[in-house]
Chain A
């Protein structure tokens, strides 16, 4: 069956609900899915943040210090470390006044991959290219 592309679309803000975090951790699980698949089969998620989902992406999160839970920032850095494509909706960032430099990278962990700020049309394209869409 080869590669199956998936679009993970996060549309809810982080922290109040668990869903937005689970979207990220489920996407990261693409790294280990091959142990359950036939040789040559892979799953490739693209993790997309739209609407209020973009609110939880700012760097400097103190969730571990204050609530002893892994921050979304850390999860995002792990995404970049495992080379996951992360798209963040440009229009929604602008709507909420979040600039690109307010979002984290994972250079300190050795990751070259960066979060990509993309127009909604590019996220729509990712959904069209995917075999399945998963809204979180």
Chain B
């Protein structure tokens, strides 16, 4: 399956996400989930950034929190709502909000 997972929190455990397998896995950072894409903890980037090559972060939610698209880890593609719609319909066939 091609699964896009919306990550909307920063400091939570991701037991389920750690175990999920997909032929194509995408992680879309939204809401407080965008901190995974922008913020290092004790100098370390979020381990979620190693989970897949298909990483996205919602620009509106980055800017809402006072950060810039330029603050985003290079592995993460910054997207807007219109892009998210295209990801949903064109790149993935199932969605999960965790």
Contacts and interface: CB of A to CB of B under 8 A. Distances in A.
Q: Do chains A and B touch in the complex (CB under 8 A)?
A: yes
Interface of A: 9, 11, 50-51, 92, 120, 124, 127-128, 130-133, 135
A51 B15 contact: yes
Nearest to A134: B96
Contact of B16 (A9, A130, A131): A9
Chief secondary structure at chain B's binding surface: mixed
B16 A127 contact: no
A135 B3 contact: no
Interface size of B as a range: 10 to 19
A133 B94 contact: yes
Nearest to A130: B94
A135 B19 contact: no
12 contacts: A9-B96, A11-B16, A11-B98, A50-B16, A51-B15, A120-B19, A124-B19, A124-B20, A130-B94, A132-B94, A133-B94, A133-B96
Give 7 closest A-B pairs by Cβ, nearest first: A51-B15, A135-B96, A133-B94, A11-B16, A128-B1, A133-B96, A135-B98
A11 B17 CA distance: 11
Interface in B49-98: 94-98
